[in-house]
Amino acid sequence: MSFPIVRHRRLRQSTGMRNLVRETVLNVHDLIMPIFVTYGEGVKNEISSMPGIYHFSLDTLKEEVDEIVALGIPAVLLFGIPETKDSVGTSAFVEDGIVQEATRLIKKWYPDLLVVADTCLCEFTDHGHCGMVHTFEVDGHVHGDVMNDESLELLTKTAVSQAKAGADIIAPSNMMDGFVQAIRTGLDEAGFEHVPIMSYSVKYASAFYGPFREAADSAPQFGDRKTYQMDPANAREALREAETDVLEGADMLMVKPALAYMDVIRTLKDQFDLPLVAYNVSGEYSMVKAAALQGWINEQAIVQEMLTGMKRAGADIIITYFAKDAARWMQER
């Protein structure tokens, strides 16, 4: 009887052996936890489509931030739901905007916790799009064109106001052409040349954003975002988008969503030498939560495998609503 000379199972025979030869290790320092801040007082409302994720008013925010810091998570990503909205998203760039006020509080409480500010207009516009819109009617139905170049000025104002409030990283998610160059120029001219840009370089027009639209109250009031977010069928286009952002001065690149786009994450990792971010988005979170609540899956095992897969694909940083859970599980190892 012939026996195998090469036995791969030798390096799998115990927990200690598997730990010793593990190629990809997920670390708490890889994680960013998103937070939704809103107006009002005493608000801590669970988002129905995202179990375990809440809207926080400024007076209830500290409890959440305390927990994040205690778990060793190094950064938060802020999304704001304003009290008022208008056609140009004024609440996004005013000095006392909800994201700006939350940033000041967090940096006061924990100066070393990194605050990443999402730089977009969709939560702040009454039409729900990520830039200025020219609207018109056809047969009684409202249509609109998102105006690229006119939107850049507003996005730059938003980024500068966020930096003034103390944001450590500006994360523009609008997918307008030229947004990195416009924001980089605006930050530099305002004296914030030290503030890095984490660019949502490759953001697909994805069905996985559904729960976020509820959380951020940002669903478009007409049309969709397919004229500025990427077609999910395209991969080579992702290289063009990322290369443009690199040339315009991005400091980090992002792929969003993550789970269905592991190939794109790997492609960008192989082509560019900037830190790469994967956004484990709301739909990915909610699907796992829903299945876990039904008892169909082992949530902890699924999440750890999923996040490890994102890192194995090439992500250096993972934005995930599971950040607190993952950090707790790491402490238990």
Give the pLDDT mean for 170-191: 94
Which residues share a beta bridge with 252? Answer: 198
pLDDT at 29: 97
- Both tokens of residue 270? 């192989």
Lowest mean pLDDT among 131-135, 227-231, 241-245, 316-320: 131-135
Name the binding residues for 5-aminolevulinate. 213, 225, 282, 321
Name the binding residues for Mg(2+). 241
Task: State the Cα–Cα distance between residues 124 and 115, nearest whole angstrom.
Answer: 20
DSSP letter at 90 equals G
Q: Given pLDDT bands bounded at 50, 70 and 90, which one contains residue 217?
A: low
CA 317 from chain centre, in angstroms, equals: 10
Name the binding residues. 120, 122, 130, 213, 225, 241, 282, 321
Average pLDDT value for the chain: 92
Q: Determine contact, residues 255/295, Cβ cutoff 8 Å.
A: no
Burial of 294 (0-12, 13-18, 19+ CB in 10 A): exposed
pLDDT at 300: 97
pLDDT for 67 beyond 80:
yes
pLDDT at 135: 66
Position with higher pLDDT, 213 vs 20: 20
pLDDT at 179: 94
Query: To which residue do tokens 């690199």 refer?
Result: 246
pLDDT at 100: 97
pLDDT for 213 beyond 90:
no
pLDDT at 137: 67
Strands 44-46 and 31-38: unpaired
Name the binding residues for Zn(2+). 120, 122, 130
Distances (CA, A) of 180 to 62, 96, 200: 32, 24, 10
Per-residue pLDDT tens over the stretch 259-298: 999 999 999 999 999 999 999 999 999 999 999 999 999 9
Q: Given pLDDT bands bounded at 50, 70 and 90, which one contains residue 150?
A: confident
Task: State the Cα–Cα distance between residues 99 and 167, nearest whole angstrom.
Answer: 9
pLDDT at 116: 98
Position with higher pLDDT, 324 vs 150: 324
Q: Determine contact, residues 326/282, Cβ cutoff 8 Å.
A: no
Question: Which residues, at least 6 apart from 285, have a Cβ–Cβ distance to it below 8 Å?
Answer: 50, 53, 211, 320, 321, 322
Per-residue pLDDT tens over the stretch 98-146: 999 999 999 999 999 999 999 988 888 876 667 767 666 666 666 667 8
Position with higher pLDDT, 184 vs 222: 184
| Ranges of H-type helices in the chain | 15-21, 61-70, 98-109, 148-165, 179-189, 210-216, 236-248, 262-271, 282-293, 299-313, 323-332
Measured at the alpha carbon of residue 33, what is the angle toward residues 124 and 37, in degrees to the nearest 5? 35
Residue of 258, 244, 240 lying closest to 315 (CA atoms) = 258
Number of residues written out for the chain? 333
Maximum separation of any 2 CA atoms in the chain, in Å:
81
CA 305 from chain centre, in angstroms, equals: 20
Amino acid at 70: A
Task: State the Cα–Cα distance between residues 73 and 53, nearest whole angstrom.
Answer: 16
Burial of 55 (0-12, 13-18, 19+ CB in 10 A): buried
pLDDT at 175: 84
pLDDT at 221: 64
Which active-site residues does the annotation give? 203, 256
Give the pLDDT mean for 11-30: 95
